[in-house]
């Protein structure tokens, strides 16, 4: 675990934002967590980070259904970022949609590691973060 690792939560639902923060704290992800209400806000933040030469987030929890720019719109723009800048960024789609066509579509994006159906629980989150070495297993 590196203290410079940050996590993005991209979701317009305040309840989900609250829940994610609670869970991340509970699994002892002690690094910075940034919350964005839609895909555009998140992209703007990424561009700002790159402009300042800062490290991009290690993990992005991405909702699909959002105003202004939804999860798909975010992914479409995200893959246009030069590869060397984003190769260490892992994207997890976290959506309440159980529509198989959404899961199928998400698989087509190489940058998407997995599709998690809401509600995400403590065990799932732990497993994801452990695999990435972002938290230490006990």
Partner 1 sequence: MNTEKSLFHHTSIPFAVIDQEKSFVDFSKQWLNTFGLDASIIGQNFFDSMPELPEELKLDINYCLEGIKHRSDSKRIVQENGNAVWYDWKVSLLNDDQNIAPNALIILEDVTHKRREEHLLEKSQQVARIGGWEIDLIKNTIYWSNMTKEIHEVPREYVPQLETGISFYKEGYSRDTITQLVNEGIELGNKWDTELQIVTAKGNILWVRAIGEPEMLNGKCVRIVGTFQDIDKRKKAQLQLLNTEESLKGTLENSSIGMALVARNGKFMDVNTSLCNSLGYTKDKLLSLTFQDITHPEDLEIDLRLLSELIKGKRSTYQIEKRYFNKDQQLVYVILTVTAARNIDGEISHFISQIVDISSRIKAEKKLKGLLELTTNQNNSLMNFAHIVSHNLRSHAANLTMISEFLTDESLDEDIRKDSLVMLGKASQGLNDTISHLNEVVQVKLETDQKLKSVQLRPLVHKVLVDIQALIEENKVIIDTDVPENIQVRGVMAYLESIILNLVTNAIKYKDLNKKTSLVSIKAVEKDETVVLSVSDNGLGIDLDKFGEKLFGMYKTFHGNEDARGIGLFITKNQIESMGGRITVSSQPGVGTTFEVTLLKNQQS
Binding site for partner 1 (CB under 8 A): 13-16, 18-19, 22, 26, 37-38, 65, 67-68, 96-99, 117-121
**Residue whose C-alpha is closest to residue 114's, from 90, 79, 130:** 90
Please, which residue, 111 or 117, has the CB nearer to partner 1?
Answer: 117
Q: What is the 8-class DSSP label of residue 118?
A: S
Please, which residue, 68 or 133, has the CB nearer to partner 1?
Answer: 68
Q: How far is the CB of 81 from partner 1 (least distance, A)?
A: 20
Q: How far is the CB of 29 from partner 1 (least distance, A)?
A: 15
Q: Which residues contact 112 (CB under 8 A, 6 or more apart)?
A: 75, 91, 92, 93, 106
Q: How far is the CB of 107 from partner 1 (least distance, A)?
A: 19
Please, which residue, 8 or 72, has the CB nearer to partner 1?
Answer: 72
Q: How far is the CB of 87 from partner 1 (least distance, A)?
A: 28
Please, which residue, 30 or 99, has the CB nearer to partner 1?
Answer: 99
H helices of the chain, in order, are 14-26, 39-51, 71-78, 83-86, 100-107, 122-131
Any bridge partners for residue 36, and if so which? Answer: 10
Q: Is residue 36 within 8 Å of residue 74, measured between CB atoms?
A: no
């Amino acid at each position: 675990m590196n203290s410079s690792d940050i996590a993005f939560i991209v979701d317009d639902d305040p309840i989900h934002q609250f829940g994610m923060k609670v869970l991340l704290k509970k699994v002892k992800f002690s690094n910075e967590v940034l919350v964005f209400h839609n895909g555009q806000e998140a992209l703007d933040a990424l561009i700002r980070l790159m402009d300042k030469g800062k490290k991009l987030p290690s993990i992005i929890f991405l909702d699909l259904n959002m105003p202004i720019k939804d999860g798909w719109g975010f992914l479409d723009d995200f893959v246009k970022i030069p590869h060397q800048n984003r190769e260490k960024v892992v994207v997890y789609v976290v959506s309440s949609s159980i529509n198989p066509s959404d899961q199928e579509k998400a698989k087509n994006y190489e940058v998407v590691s997995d599709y998690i159906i809401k509600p995400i629980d403590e065990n799932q989150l732990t497993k994801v973060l452990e695999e990435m070495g972002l938290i230490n297993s006990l």
